[in-house]
């Protein structure tokens, strides 16, 4: 194996700018292939929900996806980097377990299935449907691109860890997420089309430098749960939360796209999720969760934790976005350039 294998593969994102000492050491190590890395004591002193902490973890996880321009592919399994990641993961998990209330899986699922009759002021999709402006929809899409341009990828890691009904149901849903055999219908491609309608750059990872700690944490949760077989139940809980809550939220976001004239591809992405996820909700409840808990009833607390952790982090993200938008200010550290008539490449 050559030392620079894959280092210049086209289309990969650039390494981001550091946000503090943890991310600085990790990013510099990836750039140079040597140097100091964060010690366990330094990680423990950092805030687990802070942007420095979350960016360091995100960068390490991204080595398992597309990687970074100029970073050799074989750094994915570099022992020095792998020795740092458990310290970050343990601190993140410890914080989540302290902040997420304990529920059983059935109770947590029942709560997901109850759509509030009125908006309590904490929902981003309600806000965008009712009064969101095009610049706010563009900010939302830029932030969500960190996940949606690799949509369903973190969940695919659970497939070899399941069996029977749970595996069959999960594979059926993932088949739809990956376009049901049609490249143009892969959900990540549909989101790239949405971004083009909004005059946003569609390159994978392009908006990483604008990503808040809150959005990084939501993506890191998926990677954390997906990469650990011991957390397979929690990943199923996360997946259930996404699929069950998607149709009503997607319907509101589709209406927001239509109201602001965002464009047909922007509308299509959310219209597709209204239709597809309504079916997926039934499969994930009846086949994936019921099948998993029938095989492994001991995983019920993990499924509940996955649901609760997803709701908790999504709530933090919603709070940060709505606080900025209600004050008529950008939720990004640097506002996006104004939309233009020409579409990005």
Confidence check: pLDDT of 11 > 90: no
CA distance 68 to 14: 6
Asked, for residue 10, whether it belongs to a domain, the answer is no
- Asked if residue 124 and residue 70 are part of one domain, the reply reads no
For the ranges 4-8, 72-76, 122-126, the lowest mean pLDDT is seen at 4-8
Asked, for residue 15, whether it belongs to a domain, the answer is no
Which 8-state DSSP code applies to residue 284?
Answer: I
- Asked if residue 199 and residue 174 are part of one domain, the reply reads yes
- Asked if residue 127 and residue 43 are part of one domain, the reply reads no
For the ranges 33-47, 69-83, 119-133, 329-343, the lowest mean pLDDT is seen at 329-343
- Asked if residue 228 and residue 88 are part of one domain, the reply reads no
In the predicted model, what is the mean pLDDT of residues 171-193?
95
232: which 2 tokens? 């397979």
Reported as a single tens digit per residue, the pLDDT across 295-307 is 999 999 999 999 9
Task: Place 6 in a pLDDT band, splitting at 50, 70 and 90.
Answer: very low
Domain boundary among 36, 71, 99: 99
- Look at residue 111 in the predicted model and tell me its pLDDT: 76
Asked, for residue 282, whether it belongs to a domain, the answer is yes
Task: Place 339 in a pLDDT band, splitting at 50, 70 and 90.
Answer: confident
> Tokens 């310290």 label which residue?
87
Confidence check: pLDDT of 3 > 60: no
Q: What is the total count of domains within the chain?
A: 2
Give the count of beta carbons closer than 10 Å to the beta carbon of residue 28: 16
Asked, for residue 228, whether it belongs to a domain, the answer is yes
**How much of the chain is in helix, strand and coil states, percent to nearest 5?**
70, 0, 30
- Asked if residue 64 and residue 91 are part of one domain, the reply reads yes
- Asked if residue 209 and residue 299 are part of one domain, the reply reads yes
The pTM score is 0.93
- Look at residue 330 in the predicted model and tell me its pLDDT: 97
User: What torsion do the CA atoms of 279, 281, 286, 289 make, to the nearest 10 degrees?
Assistant: 140
Q: Please state, in angstroms and as integers, the Cα–Cα distance from residue 197 to each residue in 204, 211, 260, 315, following that order.
A: 16, 21, 12, 27
- Asked if residue 34 and residue 74 are part of one domain, the reply reads yes
- Look at residue 9 in the predicted model and tell me its pLDDT: 60
Residue 255 lies in domain? 105-325
- Asked if residue 156 and residue 90 are part of one domain, the reply reads no
Apex 82 CA angle, 76 and 87, nearest 5: 140
- Look at residue 188 in the predicted model and tell me its pLDDT: 96
Question: What whole-number percentage of the chain has pLDDT above 70?
Answer: 94
CA distance 100 to 293: 21
Asked, for residue 7, whether it belongs to a domain, the answer is no
Q: What is the mean pLDDT of the chain?
A: 92
Asked, for residue 204, whether it belongs to a domain, the answer is yes
- Asked if residue 147 and residue 45 are part of one domain, the reply reads no
Asked, for residue 197, whether it belongs to a domain, the answer is yes
Helix (H) or strand (E) holding 136: helix 134-148
- Look at residue 247 in the predicted model and tell me its pLDDT: 86
Q: What is the CATH number of the domain that holds 313?
A: 1.20.910.10
Task: Place 246 in a pLDDT band, splitting at 50, 70 and 90.
Answer: confident
Asked, for residue 338, whether it belongs to a domain, the answer is no
Instruction: Using CB atoms within 10 Å of the CB of residue 79, give its burial: 0 to 12 exposed, 13 to 18 middle, 19+ buried.
Output: exposed
- Asked if residue 309 and residue 180 are part of one domain, the reply reads yes
Task: Place 279 in a pLDDT band, splitting at 50, 70 and 90.
Answer: confident
CA distance 232 to 209: 30
- Look at residue 340 in the predicted model and tell me its pLDDT: 60
* Phi and psi torsions of 186, nearest 5°: -55, 130
- Asked if residue 149 and residue 84 are part of one domain, the reply reads no
- Asked if residue 123 and residue 35 are part of one domain, the reply reads no
- Look at residue 267 in the predicted model and tell me its pLDDT: 95
- Judge whether 13 and 203 are in contact, CB under 8 Å: yes
Helix (H) or strand (E) holding 22: helix 21-32
- Judge whether 291 and 169 are in contact, CB under 8 Å: yes
Cα radius of gyration rounded to whole Å, the chain: 20
CA distance 15 to 80: 18
Confidence check: pLDDT of 39 > 80: yes
> Tokens 């699929």 label which residue?
243
Q: Please enumerate in sequence order all residues whose Cβ is within 8 A of that of 338, keeping only pairs 6 or more positions apart, or say none.
A: none
Confidence check: pLDDT of 189 > 60: yes
Confidence check: pLDDT of 2 > 70: no
Helix (H) or strand (E) holding 61: helix 51-62
- Look at residue 8 in the predicted model and tell me its pLDDT: 55
In the predicted model, what is the mean pLDDT of residues 179-208?
96
Confidence check: pLDDT of 341 > 50: no
Higher-pLDDT residue of 247, 185: 185
């Amino acid at each position: 194996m050559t030392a620079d294998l894959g280092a210049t593969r086209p289309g990969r994102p650039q390494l981001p700018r550091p946000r503090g000492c943890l991310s600085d050491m990790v990013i510099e190590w990836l750039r140079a292939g040597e140097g100091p890395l964060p010690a366990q004591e330094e990680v423990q002193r950092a805030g687990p929900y802070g942007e420095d902490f979350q960016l360091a973890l995100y960068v390490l996880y991204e080595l398992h996806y597309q990687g970074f321009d100029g970073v050799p592919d074989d750094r994915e399994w570099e022992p020095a980097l792998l020795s740092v990641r458990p310290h970050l993961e343990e601190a993140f998990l410890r914080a989540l377990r302290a902040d997420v209330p304990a529920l059983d899986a059935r109770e947590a699922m029942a709560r997901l299935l109850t759509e509030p009759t009125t908006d309590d002021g904490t929902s981003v999709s309600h806000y965008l449907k009712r009064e969101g402006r095009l610049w706010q929809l563009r900010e939302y899409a830029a932030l969500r691109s960190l996940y949606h341009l690799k949509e369903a990828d973190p969940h695919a890691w659970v497939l070899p860890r399941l069996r029977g009904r749970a595996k069959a149901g999960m594979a059926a849903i993932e088949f739809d997420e990956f376009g049901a055999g049609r490249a143009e219908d892969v959900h990540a491609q549909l989101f790239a089309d949405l971004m083009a309608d909004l005059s946003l750059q569609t390159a994978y990872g392009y908006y990483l430098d604008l990503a808040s700690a809150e959005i990084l944490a939501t993506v890191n949760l998926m990677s954390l749960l997906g990469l650990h077989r011991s957390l397979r139940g929690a990943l199923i809980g996360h997946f259930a939360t996404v699929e069950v809550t998607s149709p009503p939220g997607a319907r509101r976001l589709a209406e927001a796209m239509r109201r602001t004239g965002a464009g047909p591809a922007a509308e299509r992405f959310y219209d597709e999720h209204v239709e597809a996820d309504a079916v997926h909700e039934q499969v994930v409840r009846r086949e994936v969760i019921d099948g998993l808990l029938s095989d492994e009833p001991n995983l019920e607390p993990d499924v509940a934790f996955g649901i609760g952790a997803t709701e908790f982090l999504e709530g933090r993200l919603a709070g940060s976005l709505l606080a900025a938008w209600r004050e008529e200010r950008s939720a990004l550290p640097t506002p996006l350039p104004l939309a233009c008539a020409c579409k990005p490449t």
